[in-house]
Chains A and B, each alone.
Chain A
Amino acid sequence: MSLPDRIYPSRPEQVYLVGTCLVDSFYPDAGMDAIHLLQSCGVQVIFPQDQSCCGQPAWNSGYEDEARAVARTQLEAFAADIPVVVMMGSCAGMMHLEYPRVFAGQPEEKRALALAARTYEFSEFMVNVLNYQPMKDGKTSYQPLRVALHTSCSARRGMQVAAEHKALVESLPGVQVVEPARVTECCGFGGTFSVKQGDISAAMAADKADAMAATGADCIVSADCGCLMNIGGTLEKQGRPMATKHLATLLWESAVEAGK
């Protein structure tokens, strides 16, 4: 189930990619994987060098003017009328759902509404616009990969793309999806929440780490790197590390493998 009543365009020739600031510094390879994957679908990817952050950390902390100043930079960076694909559900939610509020009554309101309307979360775009089908007949040389899928709260409840996440992962040859207990529960990241309420956040992360470890999966896959950093970092600190992967990386690795 994607957002109610959202109408999807036909396959565009070009897309903008919002890498997000977290992917930019901590998961840049996932960003390149997304670029390669989109290119392999015949879509030209534009990665504006002038993009930075959607502005969500300040916005959720109540510092609206500071958030708006940063969001304005993104209005400039993604100015042309081209679909915008966002690598994380959290940032997609900020741009698609919150920008209309961020710029309500501001001179840029019209542009913000237009940008929000052409902004898509990564899995949402892959499924609903590109109708992405992995190569089913591709031989898999490896053992089935057991994947614990973590759909972030913003992807699940904000962008409502949990079904798209699941469909993509389940469609991959040689991948077995395992579901952790309390799958819909927040991992405790919540951006600045993890710093401002460190104890509560850590308690939530510890429970999520237990649930992930109990699946015995080979890796945790998510399209939100904040959650990956939080869950993966907790498991690592506890001395029971599990691999973490952005969904784009899983898809691209599978495509490369199938293409061999």
Chain B
Amino acid sequence: MSENRIEMQQIVDQEEHDFADMKARHFKARAKMALENETLRASFRGASDFLMAKRKSVFPDDEELEALRDRGEAARQRSLQDLPELLEMLEANLTRNGVQVHWAETADDACKIIHGIMEAGNAKTLVKGKSMVSEEIELNHYLEKKGIECLESDMGEYLVQLGNEAPSHIVMPVIHKNKRQIARLMHTRATTPDGEPVPYSEDVDDLIGNARAILREKFRNADAGLSGVNMAIAETGTLLLVENEGNGRMSTTVPPIHIAVTGIEKVVRSLTDVPELLTLLPRSATGQLITTYVNMISGPRQPGELDGPQQVHLVLVDNGRSRMYNHPQLKPTLQCIRCGACMNHCPVYARVGGHAYGSTYPGPIGQVVTPQLGNAGGLAANGDMINACSLNGACGEACPVRIPLPDLIRELRAEAARPATATALGMPVPGTGSRRNLGESLIWTGWSTIYKVPFLYRTSTRLMGLGRSLMPGKLAPWTNTRSMPKPAARSLHQLARDAGVPSTAEEARYQNKQRQAEEK
């Protein structure tokens, strides 16, 4: 250990400051900051390589993988096809099991409902398992303003909370930090149950052991526990939750109140749908055959039982999902099972990391979901983010439920540039047409005008060839890092014409006749 605790504190404070600074900027500036941060670059490159290799190792057979993906896609599409019916069935069966079901149209509604449950139960502290929907609705922020203490109990989320940052990945929230950064964070910001600073250690077992000791007390004392849901099974009224740390089981069983929060798309009809998706979820996410814990929650403590929460609540969040459901092209957004494989395979995510996106959900699925959410600023606020994709298709290839992510990103770009005169099908995405600006539409109109008229196109390429020596030597941003491409003196159109290559089927026929005549 070369730094003392004071120096470490300064480093950790600086990291917090850098995060806040980055968060306050717009997408391109955030991306640039991330690209220039070598530590961050190394963390994400390492994570991407590791996770891609790990996933590959558990899907050794391509044909089997494709067959599993077909089944996963079918399972998700079946659920979405009957979504309204399944949600009603889920509510009825959960209610029968003693679970209280709440419907939240907006993020704000969801926060209010959760606060209401806490208030009614006189609950002042909330221990949280991992829940991305709780991040999406910005629950911690809301509850803290109401004087409720929220404590993240997933190791990654806990560290992110200690650092006063946000998750940079939906499955591995603290993947942007290396061991040393995490050791500093624990040493400077966490205290043991005895009130002492946690001793400095980069050893993973030490780090986890220290966090465990702190969290055990919190679980014991929390008034309520919150969790996400990976699947809600309609026929049986069961909430399924996968996790690796046991914190999910603790959050959902130790405190007297358990509040589960999830998006309305997570419902499936029957238990037979579970293996279809559970085969894919952990393999795609972390390269595990199965997670350490698979929790099936079917209701509160029954009379005569010794443990379990006295109340179980499910908050079903819409926040724009009904709109996705009604959009003919964007509906597959709801197929997502939140495994994170798309971000693990995305070459842009591997370069800029999760925080650059500035959204709860980063990476390809984040680019697709975020503009469609009810509380994330729509296309107007996320236009640059959806352009941060080379449409290379790696995400679509990795997605276990075959969401056509590149197609959806392109579709959102079209939504963003939709002319005001066009009537969008179904329910439009918030901010439809908001990114159509005069400059860019002029460029594409001009381009279209030339490229749709063959004569104009040929003339312009010819002129470009003639004027090649007059071409500028610099054209930012291309030439900032690349040499300027030089047009050829003569285009292929000219070369082919000169070589007598026929231009039409008729010309080809005529040439053939001539040749036959000559041969005679």
- A residues apposed to B, CB below 8 Å: 14, 19, 21, 23-29, 31-32, 35, 44-53, 55, 57-67, 69-70, 72-73, 77, 80, 82, 153-154, 156-158, 184-186, 188-191, 193-206, 229-230, 232-234, 236-237
Contacts and interface: CB of A to CB of B under 8 A. Distances in A.
B136 to A, nearest CB: 25
A195 B485 CA distance: 14
A185 B48 CA distance: 12
Contact of B483 (A46, A62, A202, A237): A237
B392 interface: yes
Interface of B: 28, 31-32, 35, 347-348, 351-352, 384, 387-394, 396-397, 410, 412-419, 435, 440-441, 444-445, 447-448, 451-454, 457-458, 461, 464-465, 476-488, 490-497, 499, 501-505, 507-508, 512
A44 B461 contact: no
Nearest to B66: A4
A14 B461 contact: no
A153 B480 contact: no
B347 A205 contact: no
A52 B391 contact: no
A31 B502 CA distance: 14
B157 to A, nearest CB: 27
B482 A230 contact: yes
A60 B410 contact: yes
Given A60-B410, A157-B394, A32 B499 contact: yes
B482 A205 contact: yes
Contact of B392 (A59, A77, A153): A153
A105 B458 CA distance: 30
B454 A49 contact: yes
Contacts of B505: 14, 46, 80, 82
A47 B496 contact: yes
A16 to B, nearest CB: 9
A208 to B, nearest CB: 9
B499 A202 contact: no
A230 B392 CA distance: 15
A53 B502 CA distance: 19
Contacts of B508: 14, 44, 46
A35 B496 contact: yes
Which of B348, B387, B492: most chain A CB closer than 10 A? B492
A60 B412 CA distance: 10
Contacts of B453: 73
A25 B393 contact: no
Contacts of A49: 454, 458, 493, 496-497, 503
